[in-house]
Amino acid sequence: MRILGIETSCDETSAAVLSGAGDAVTLESLVILSQDIHRVFGGVVPEIASRQHLTAIMPVIDQALKDANATLADLDAIAVSHAPGLVGALLVGVAAAKGLAMTAGIPLVGVHHLEGHLFATSLEHADAVPPFIALLVSGGHTMLLDVPAWGDYELLGATRDDAAGEAFDKAAKLLGLPYPGGKHLEALALEGDPHRFRFTRPMLRRDQHLGDDDYFDMSFSGLKTAVMMSVKASTNLKSDAPHIARGFQDALTETLAEKTARAVRASGSIRVVLGGGVACNRSLQAALVDRCGPAVAVLAPSPRIATDNAAMIARAGLFHAERGNWAALDLAATSSALMPGIRRSPR
């Protein structure tokens, strides 16, 4: 089966062509156009994002088809991210997918953006297939999942307030770093002393046990506040910034690593798969390797696949297409929606 994937959930306009069956797939093309204009505002401006998608969507799709040496007539289906995300941005991708599906007379698949991130790492690592423990860490979401099979997702824990990626961006902004702040803060933290600013590891206590309602859950709003207070108290922020960045990053990554290690111990899993923009943070990867131990494989996507991209949408779309999970032409763009197949853990 050959599928065109389309992704416009935030500020990346992306299209990809993928072919194959089951877990044996070939990524034939991937085009990602990032909207650098949002750096001026220090964050994504929804109206601007939507207008930029309108301008870029068809050239990006045309380039993806060209790179794959394909036409609409060569496709078996079109997969599009329809939730969650910025509604205006999603509408552009959904409308384009519907129009192309009608023109070519081929079926449409609606893909949940977060499920796409679950599939993303398997595009680069053949072993990133179920069963595994998944840590989804992005600007809008932080989730810990037990994945016994594709389409079956047990939610173990999630952030109760801010996502890990949002915390990175806010901390970076407090330190005067450019948007998006994750990679800039990570680079600055390399210069920092881990002992100068040590922040509390949020929602980690020695008396927590499996079955406690906060055993797997996370929270990062307090950590952001701690960074803000440290910035305000600093008499020489230029000198203190690397150390604050290091303290923040260590607190966040060590918290994520311990929560994930708990899931590994509870499930007996031998694989941890990362997804989302924060997944390519090397400090996080190292913390996971250290905390989970040598018997557990930690699989992370490259920065290109970790970011919002259409390859992961096409991959998740293939899974649903093979099961006949087609979308009607009234497929809606939705800002929030439960991931299909997800269930809350009884643990």
Model confidence pLDDT, tens digit, residues 285-317: 999 999 999 999 999 999 999 999 999 999 999
Confidence of residue 347 (pLDDT cuts 50, 70, 90): low
Which residues lie closer than 8 Å to 180 by C-beta, 6 or more apart? 39, 139, 169, 172, 277
- Examine the pLDDT at 267 and tell me if it is beyond 60: yes
- Examine the pLDDT at 95 and tell me if it is beyond 90: yes
Model confidence pLDDT, tens digit, residues 160-181: 998 999 999 999 999 999 888 8
Which residues lie closer than 8 Å to 206 by C-beta, 6 or more apart? none
Instruction: Give strand ranges (E) for the chain.
Output: 2-7, 12-21, 24-34, 77-83, 108-112, 132-137, 142-149, 152-158, 271-275, 297-299, 342-344
User: Rounded to whole angstroms, how far apart are CA atoms 189 and 168?
Assistant: 12
Whether this prediction's pTM lies above 0.75 is answered by: yes
Model confidence pLDDT, tens digit, residues 52-71: 889 999 999 999 999 999 99
Domains of the chain: which residue ranges? 2-118+306-344, 127-300
User: Rounded to whole angstroms, how far apart are CA atoms 301 and 275?
Assistant: 7
273: phi then psi, degrees, rounded to nearest 5: -115, 125
* Matching CATH number, 127-300, of 3.40.50.2300, 3.60.10.10, 3.30.420.40, 2.70.98.50: 3.30.420.40
- Examine the pLDDT at 45 and tell me if it is beyond 80: no
User: Rounded to whole angstroms, how far apart are CA atoms 310 and 111?
Assistant: 10
The dihedral built from the CA positions of residue 303, 304, 309 and 311, taken in this order, carries a sign that is negative
Which residues lie closer than 8 Å to 284 by C-beta, 6 or more apart? 137, 253, 256, 257, 274, 278
pLDDT of residue 40: 60
CATH class as words, domain 2-118+306-344:
alpha beta
DSSP string computed for 81-123: EEESS-HHHHHHHHHHHHHHHHHHT--EEEEEHHHHHHHHGGG
8 Å CB contact between 189 and 176:
no
Q: Which residues pair with 212 in a beta bridge?
A: 210
pLDDT of residue 122: 97
Which residues lie closer than 8 Å to 85 by C-beta, 6 or more apart? 8, 9, 10, 113, 333, 335
Confidence of residue 48 (pLDDT cuts 50, 70, 90): confident
8 Å CB contact between 321 and 77:
yes
Write down the number of H helices and E strands in the chain: 10, 11
Between the alpha carbon of residue 121 and those of residues 89, 268, 271, the distances in Å are 24, 21, 12
DSSP string computed for 311-331: HHHHHHHHHHHHTT-PBPTTP
